[in-house]
Amino acid sequence: MSFENIIVEKKGAVAVLTFNRPQALNAFCGALMDEVTQAIDDFESDDTVKVIVITGSEKAFAAGADIKEMAAKTFVDVFKEDFITRNWERVARCRKPVIAAVAGYCLGGGNELAMMCDFILAADTAKFSQPEITIGTLPGAGGTQRLTRLVGKSKAMELCLTGRMMDAKEAECAGLVARIFPAAELMAETMKIAEQIASFSPLAVMMVKESINRAYETTLAEGLRFERRLFHASFATEDQKEGMQAFTGKRKASFKGK
Ligand code: CAA
């Protein structure tokens, strides 16, 4: 399938999805989100793709949902089309690791999509905000929920109630961003991290992802039980045997996803 609002590239085991709507600072129109959904479906069913990177331009990861497209919609419109749920949340359901590489504006729905990824790597130019309050609404793609879990109630409240922008350093200190790189090095550093993850057992990688995400859904006792069972299950894989034998044999492991 050819895309108009995103660019999709495969670099070895890493698939890179780049938002490409510069005329609107990558604002998410419906067509763009349909393409993101299609691209993630394609990556998920392609066994050669081990890690997905989602990025934007130097100026903007994304300036949020497309306000011009949304402005005239009624309750009936958004309810019937299942706005957001229908085509935005595919990223959050992806079982393969997804890294957001953010430079420039990461606002509203842009920040919400970045938070649906497994972690955020930021350029020192990145600016984060949930500005929906300034246009008479509230975050609608998980901002009040995921941001609160990442940065805590006080900071999430302050950010969502004022709509102010937070720079990369503040975002890292607050726990929204995993690491910061100089803007010129963001993609090279992101690819290094993605390639490292891609070199590990894809089964173990998926189990780590599932287990950490479970921490947000359950009690500590149930989360620990879930982790323990997945840990036990990993002993049924060839990759666990290979990884541990390679360690004792002082050689590099070669994982097969079996
Ligand atoms: N939707 C639609 N178009 C947008 C947009 C958006 N979210 N953000 C920027 N654009 C468009 C602008 O309208 C402009 O188009 P024209 O040239 O046709 O006028 C173009 O992108 C460039 O933008 P600016 O001229 O405004 O650029 P700037 O550098 O002066 O300002 C900005 C940059 C501070 C990011 C500013 O564009 C801005 O505030 N954008 C809106 C941010 C916002 O409110 N996002 C939240 C959206 S709501 C949401 O996301 C809901 C949800 O939770 C799901």
For residue 1, the model assigns a pLDDT of 66
Q: Whose CA is nearest to atom 28 of ligand 1?
A: 25
Give me the residues of the chain with pLDDT under 70, please: 1
**Looking at ligand 1, which residue's alpha carbon is closest to its atom 41?**
63
Residue type, 202: P
DSSP 129: E
Kindly report the protein residue whose alpha carbon is nearest to atom 45 of ligand 1.
64
How far is the centre of ligand 1, averaged over its atoms, from the C-alpha of 33 (Å)? Answer: 17
**Residue 68 alpha carbon, nearest atom of ligand 1:** 2
The three-class DSSP label of residue 113 is helix
**What's the pLDDT tens digit per position in 180-220?**
999 999 999 999 999 999 999 999 999 999 999 999 999 99
Cα radius of gyration (the chain): 19
Dihedral over Cα of 39, 20, 54, 255: its sign:
positive
The pTM assigned to this predicted structure is: 0.97
The two counts, helices (H) then strands (E), for the chain are 12, 10
Cα-to-centroid distance, 146 and ligand 1 (Å): 22
How far is the centre of ligand 1, averaged over its atoms, from the C-alpha of 239 (Å)? 46
Give me the active site residues, please. 65, 109, 112, 132
Beta strands per DSSP E along 159-233: 166-167, 179-181
How many whole angstroms from 111 Cα to the centroid of ligand 1? 13
Asked if residues 258 and 237 have their Cβ atoms less than 8 Å apart, the reply is yes
Most informative mutation of 20, 25, 111 for ligand 1 (most atoms within 8 A of CB): 25
User: Looking at ligand 1, which residue's alpha carbon is closest to its atom 21?
Assistant: 24
- Which amino acids bring their CB within 6 angstroms of ligand 1? 24-25, 27, 63-68, 84, 105, 107-109, 112, 131-132, 135, 139-141, 143
